[in-house]
Amino acid sequence: MYIFKESLAIEKDIKNINNKDNKVKILGTVISKINKNLIIDDKTGTINVTSTDDINNIFEGQIVRIFGRVANDTLFAEIIQDMTKLDIELYKKAKVKWEGIW
């Protein structure tokens, strides 16, 4: 039997991401889309995101959560989730309370 240990994606604001990070998850708005490349803005900064998957269902202005690996100031997306229906203000309040617990 093989046991694979995969690191968990750490939720980060874009301004706090650096090339030493392995896997991160971000929540932000798509501000640009060209081919398989996105620029995401989370109001703390922007980051270039590259996907190897088809992203035809992603559009500018859409709120997304992206799980991926960081390299050379780029986030290489592994999962892109549509978060358009997320109540951002409620999410922020819950996040603050959750961080206070941990």
Query: For the chain, first and last CA: distance in Å?
Result: 34
pLDDT confidence of residue 6 = 64
**Domain locations along the chain:** 10-101
Contacts of 82 (CB under 8 A, 6+ apart): 57, 58, 62, 63, 64
The string of pLDDT tens digits covering residues 44-93 is 999 999 999 999 999 999 999 999 999 999 999 999 999 999 998 898 88
Which of the following CATH numbers is that of domain 10-101: 2.40.50.140, 3.40.50.10860, 3.30.300.30, 1.10.10.10? Answer: 2.40.50.140
CA-CA distance, 72 to 66, in Å (whole number)? 17
